[in-house]
Chain A
Amino acid sequence: MSVAGARAAAGQALPPHRLPRLIPPEGPLALAEHLERYGPVPFSDAAAGPGRDTLISEVEQSGLTGRGGAGFPAGRKMRAVAQAGRRAGPLRSQVGTVVIANGAESEPGSTKDRMLLARAPHLVLDGIALAAEAVGATRAYLCLHETSDGVDRILSSAISSRERAGLNRLPIQVVMIGGGYVASQETSLVSFINGGAGKPAFVPPRPSDKGAHGRPTLVQNVETLAHLALIARYGPSWFRKVGGGAGSALVTFGGAVHRPGVYEIALGTPLSDLLRQAGGPTEAPQAIQAGGYFGGWIRYQDALDVPVSDPGLRAAGASLGPGILVLVPASACGLAETARVVGYLAEQSAGQCGPCFNGLPALADALWELAYGRADRDTLGWATRLLSLIARRGACHLPDGTAALAASTLRVFADELGRHTAAGPCNRVRRPGVLPVPGHPDVRA
């Protein structure tokens, strides 16, 4: 019997078919209200809950992909960790695996994870507990960024209330992560929990084989875990009912729109719909920057029909990343915006890999020249050469992601570049930046 059928048989409320699924519109729910709205946490020994292996199968069937930016199939990752846990012990016995919930959200343009943790903490905590049971975890961590002040208090109190209600089968340890852009990368979190520097590590071994405390580790974004908590209750078919089978996702929409913020959308929604929800542009729009700082640009006139999903945005020359869209108005200069962002990313290098800590500053300097200085063919040639020199030559994706953003910039703003080459920097480079760059005072939130 499917889970939904079991619930129907038990007379419980049916799940929401429409949005919102993750963020309750009435505000944060206390534990009792949360359990009343969604039903009990379907651990494998609960009456109508799915069995341990069944949860992994259901997640696989649902096609849920990671919502942290990489988009890796969640079921496949869980399967790998569970299998590695079965193999990894001495004499091939079971060894306890580890679950790390990634709420560190170090991408400057993204606020969806903080929002989700503040408004629906119990959904995330359900997801952690269910995932832990499914992969045989004996330890669980929830990583938060040290600047997300207030969120850790909400989470701590939510965890305490679950403890009092006897829901915490596995204690969930909240870990505050410092550091910058690369600190929330999967292997960085593992390194930090292992007492290391919190910098990306060379793969292999993947965390799913050998991660925290040397054990197979499941690292999953908090939004992914929230979706998992709902799939465990309502099943994969329910999940696939929206978004053309891809489900729903949280998107942070920023820039020159009337109502910037976090929206939950059905994946595949046309961007124009989302733009309407966000109140439309505040001034004449120029382009959309999509996918965060490893993403790309889409000219505004080309963007309106683009479906907001990873395949849709990739076809348009950008990506979804951790669900970030920024509307950049015509009063800004795309070259200057990118130059500022790449300058920030170059500072964010962990300093471990030569091609990155040499190549990224060189690329930042070249882009700076193109935007604010002499935009000549030599500089453009050097910048283009740098893109192929740094791609895929680091331990993490900072060099490739930065190269992708720069490549997209040079392609989409080719006309702008031509004008800079002919006449020098336009006066729009002096406009305060639209793309958020931490630590730089001219940034507009």
Chain B
Amino acid sequence: MSRRTARASLRVNPIACQAHGLCIELLPELVRADPWGYPLIRQGPVPEELLPLARRAVAACPTLALLLARDD
């Protein structure tokens, strides 16, 4: 039986986001840049193998705008 892991999704607080762009550099698998440098996040839950990288990107955001929210 597989261990049940919590699914989580990436969200950005658009008011806090100031387009520093670290998330786009650190997590290109899930975050792209729009024409103005703001993050475009791929919809859906974060794949399990990318969760540590996602957490790193969340910690790196200078304005704490990137959020990893549990899907519940």
Contact = CB atoms under 8 A, between A and B. Distances in A.
Nearest to B19: A354
Nearest to B14: A353
B15 A393 contact: no
A393 B35 contact: no
A395 B14 contact: yes
Interface in A347-379: 352-356, 358-359
B16 A354 contact: no
Contact of A395 (B15, B19, B37, B40): B15
A389 B34 contact: yes
A352 B37 CA distance: 15
A244 to B, nearest CB: 35
Contacts of B34: 354-355, 389
A202 B15 contact: yes
Contacts, number: 37
A354 B35 contact: no
Interface in A55-99: none
Interface residues of B, number: 13
A358 B40 CA distance: 14
B36 A353 contact: no
Majority SS of interface residues in chain B?
A: loop
Most buried by A among B15, B19, B35, B40: B15
B34 to A, nearest CB: 6
B36 to A, nearest CB: 4
Contact of A201 (B15, B17, B37, B38): B15
B13 A354 contact: no
Given A352-B14, A395-B13, 4 more contacts: A202-B13, A202-B14, A352-B15, A356-B14
26 contacts: A202-B13, A202-B15, A202-B16, A352-B14, A353-B14, A353-B17, A354-B14, A354-B17, A354-B19, A354-B34, A354-B36, A354-B38, A355-B14, A355-B34, A355-B36, A355-B38, A358-B35, A359-B36, A389-B34, A389-B35, A393-B14, A393-B38, A394-B14, A395-B13, A395-B14, A395-B15
Interface of B: 13-19, 34-38, 40
